[in-house]
Amino acid sequence: MTEMTRVATEAPAARRSRMPNPRIGVLALQGDVREHELALHDGGADVVKVRRPSELDDVDGLVIPGGESTAIDKLARAFGMMDPLRAKIAQGFPVYGSCAGMILLADRVADPARDGLGQPQQTFGGIDMTVRRNAFGRQVDSFETEVPMPVLSRISGQSSAGDADAVRAVFIRAPWVESIGEGVEILASVPEPHHEGPGSDAGVARIVAVRSGNLLATSFHPEVTGERRIHRLFIDMIRGEA
Ligand SMILES: NC(=O)CC[C@H](N)C(=O)O
């Protein structure tokens, strides 16, 4: 066996033995924290709630839940989380964001909400992408559909869809990714469903899941349909196995 193949075959096992159960935080400022805790737990992680900057140093990765990105932004600033989390992300800290969490991982928001002083909402950023909030329409336009996601075919665990490489996905006032920079991988797209209102462009493919290095983001909520493989993918990323 050459030195190269020995390193290639032994490294993942060595990493696994160092990190049997990664400890993953769920940012517990606002949103569907409990559902993510359950999904991570089912995936084999130790799970803790994270609210304070010091707690970031006790976890191997972080999930930013769905909810309301403007509320999470305001609370993150109030709790002094904004700059410490930005710094961790810049150092390669693994983070998965769903829905509002996707918005908070975007470097740019196409239509940011503004506060009373006209200041746009802020994000932690890290993924070189522009997201559009509430892009699929309002609450009444929320929908559920099966989304092909080929990356999941090699992830073991509970699937919510009939198809091995698809996910049953719930979109609730969901964002889509309008543009991506270099180094951002598209993991899933869906055809835009018809909805009333300006800008509806039924049938156009919209990006709804991306990965950039150690950062993962989905427009939809896998945590509410019993889907577990996206959380497993994130756990594998933390272990250095995906
Ligand atoms: N389900 C969700 O997380 C909705 C996200 C919400 N529209 C926002 O802008 O934060």
The ipTM assigned to this model is 0.95
C-beta 43 within 6 A of ligand 1: no
**Other beta carbons less than 10 A from residue 213's beta carbon:** 14
If one residue of 30, 33, 131, 134 were mutated to test the ligand 1 pocket, choosing by the most ligand atoms within 8 A of its CB, it would be 134
* Whole-prediction pTM: 0.90
Cα of 66 to ligand 1 centre, how many Å?
Answer: 6
Average pLDDT over all residues of the chain = 90
Integer Cα distance of 126 and 108 in angstroms = 10
Active site residue 241: no
pLDDT tens column, 180-238: 999 999 999 999 988 776 667 888 899 999 999 999 999 999 999 889 999 999 999 99
- Report percent pLDDT > 70 for the chain: 90
Active site residue 99: yes
Q: Given the DSSP bridges, would you call strands 166-171 and 143-148 parallel, antiparallel or unpaired?
A: antiparallel
